[in-house]
Structure 1
Amino acid sequence: MKDQARKELLSQVENMINHYCEGCFLHQYLKKEGGRRAAHRFCISQCTVGEKLQEYGKKLTN
């Protein structure tokens, strides 16, 4: 992967995290009720933003 494309993907990931994940009330609630693991599991398996971040991660590793 070219450096420019990689930088663009990383920028998109950072923007998504800053826009959607920072201060996410659902994550905070799940963390409080079920613990950090439950909140993380939700973000990875059920949250649409988490799924999109996983797609970006797969592109970065290829």
Structure 2
Amino acid sequence: MERKRWIHEVEELMNDYCKDCFLHQHHKMDKGKRYAHRFCISQCTVGQRIKKYGDKILGDEEENK
């Protein structure tokens, strides 16, 4: 059940903050898609929160194997 809640929270974060993110679009145009993605994961606070949820989801899947 926790997994569904985490996925729902990630979806809400992405819809609220990432959908029309100016910084992502700016970095994507100036430095490329790879740089923009890396920026989101490593420097954006919302991206870091999403990454933490992803780590929880993956950790949860590994425990259930």
How high is the TM-score relative to the length of structure 1? Answer: 0.90
Deviations 1:3-60 (A, max 9, x none): x211111100000000000010110001010011111110011000111011101110
How high is the TM-score relative to the length of structure 2? Answer: 0.86
SS of residue in 1 equivalent to 2:20: coil
Q: 2:13 aligns with which of 9, 13, 16?
A: 16
- Corresponding position of 2:62: none
Unaligned runs of 5+ in 2: 60-65
Q: Structure 1 stretches (4+) deviating beyond 3 angstroms? A: none
- Corresponding position of 1:49: 46
Question: What RMSD in Å do the two structures reach over aligned CA positions?
Answer: 0.7
Unaligned runs of 5+ in 1: none
